[in-house]
């Protein structure tokens, strides 16, 4: 098994944190996104979507998409559970993870990729040339503000995003908050509950991943 990573990129970091929480040791291959290694013919054979993370299994199957990689690792290594413990809990975790991927992680992505000079013509990941749309920067930033408020509201009544335990929903939200730093946005002071939660999750050893 091999984990295709890029140590500076937020999407594979979601999986790195998951792997650290599970205490797994998986050989890592660094993919040089800065020099377009992910667009090379060789990498395209592994993942035609041209993104990291990718988990290559021993039978040669390549699993991309951060949550799909985590799904595989959760099923292969159930302890500690990070994606829910029973049918109800799994659904609640999946719901919050998905919400904060779209409303948080992808909101930052929208603002960042439509603004960054180095990503001109690369507004979307994948093999195609896609122009930036400057108007989406403001919309992305507005979405991030809404994400911060929703995260704060969710943490007002429970210690973690999906309830009493730390889960993949926390990982996605945590990485989205850190990723927001790339567009110079951070949790506002009035988001007391989210700020307290962020301090706690950032102290976990896995946060260094
Ligand atoms: N939906 C994908 C997104 C992966 C993604 O966007 N990865 C970024 C790194 S954070 C990437 O590979 N970017 C390549 C590029 O910028 O073309 C997932 O969850 O794995």
Residue spans of the domains in the chain: they are: 2-76, 87-208
pLDDT for residue 193: 98
Contact, 126 vs 50, CB < 8 A? Answer: yes
Say if CB 187 and CB 153 are below 8 A apart.
no
| CA of residue 38 to ligand 1 center, whole Å | 10
Taking the C-alpha atoms of residue 136 and residue 183, their distance in angstroms, rounded to an integer, is 13
pLDDT value at residue 141: 98
CATH numeric code, 87-208: 1.20.1050.10
Decide: 47 in ligand 1 pocket, CB within 6 A: no
pLDDT of residue 71: 98
**C-alpha 192 to ligand 1 mean position (Å):** 31
The CATH homologous superfamily for domain 2-76 is: Glutaredoxin (3.40.30.10)
Determine the Cα angle at 179 with ends 178 and 180, to 5°.
90
Q: pLDDT per position in the chain (209 positions), as tens?
A: 999 999 999 999 999 999 999 999 999 999 999 999 999 999 999 999 999 999 999 999 999 999 999 999 999 999 999 999 999 999 999 999 999 999 999 999 999 999 999 999 999 999 999 999 999 999 999 999 999 999 999 999 999 999 999 999 999 999 999 999 999 999 999 999 999 999 999 999 999 99
What does the pLDDT read at residue 114?
A: 98
CA 190 / ligand 1 centre spacing (Å): 31
Q: Give CA–CA dist 176/187, Å, rounded.
A: 11
Q: Beta strand pairing status for 62-64 and 54-56?
A: antiparallel
Ligand 1 mutation target, pool 11, 116, 182, most atoms within 8 A of CB: 11
Distance between Cα 78 and ligand 1 center (Å): 26
Long-range Cβ contacts of 202-206 (<8 Å, 24+ apart): 202/174, 204/21, 204/166, 205/20, 206/17, 206/20, 206/21
Contact present, 23 and 35 (Cβ < 8 Å): no
65 lines ligand 1 (CB under 6 A): yes
What's the half-sphere exposure (Cβ side, CA atoms, 13 Å) at 39?
Answer: 10
| Cβ neighbours for 134, distance < 8 A, ≥ 6 positions apart | 114, 115
Give the pLDDT score at 84: 98
pLDDT value of residue 102:
98
pLDDT at 132: 98
Q: Is the dihedral of CA 143, 148, 153, 157 positive or negative?
A: positive
Are 190 and 184 contacting, i.e. CB atoms less than 8 angstroms apart? no
pTM (two decimals): 0.98
Pocket lining: 73 vs ligand 1, CB cutoff 6 Å: no
Residue with CA at minimum distance from ligand 1 atom 2 = 65
Q: How many CB atoms are closer than 10 A to CB 186?
A: 15
């Amino acid at each position: 098994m091999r984990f295709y990573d890029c140590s500076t990129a937020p999407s594979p970091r979601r999986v790195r944190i998951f792997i650290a929480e599970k205490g797994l040791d998986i050989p890592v291959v660094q993919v040089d996104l800065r020099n377009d290694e992910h667009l090379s013919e060789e990498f395209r054979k592994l993942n035609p979507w041209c993104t990291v993370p990718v988990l290559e299994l021993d039978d040669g199957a390549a699993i991309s998409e951060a949550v799909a990689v985590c799904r595989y690792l959760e099923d292969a290594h159930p302890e500690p559970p990070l994606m829910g413990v029973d049918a109800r809990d799994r659904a609640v975790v999946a719901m919050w993870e998905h919400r904060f991927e779209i409303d948080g992680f992808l909101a930052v992505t929208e603002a960042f990729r439509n603004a960054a000079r180095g990503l001109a013509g690369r507004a979307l990941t994948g093999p195609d040339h896609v122009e930036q749309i400057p108007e989406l920067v403001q919309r992305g930033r507005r979405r991030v503000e809404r994400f911060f408020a929703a995260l704060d509201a969710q943490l007002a009544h429970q210690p973690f995003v999906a309830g009493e335990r730390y889960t993949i929903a926390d990982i996605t939200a945590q990485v989205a908050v850190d990723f927001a730093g790339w567009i110079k946005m951070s949790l506002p002071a009035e988001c007391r509950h989210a700020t307290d939660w962020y301090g706690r999750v950032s102290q976990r050893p896995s946060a260094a991943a």
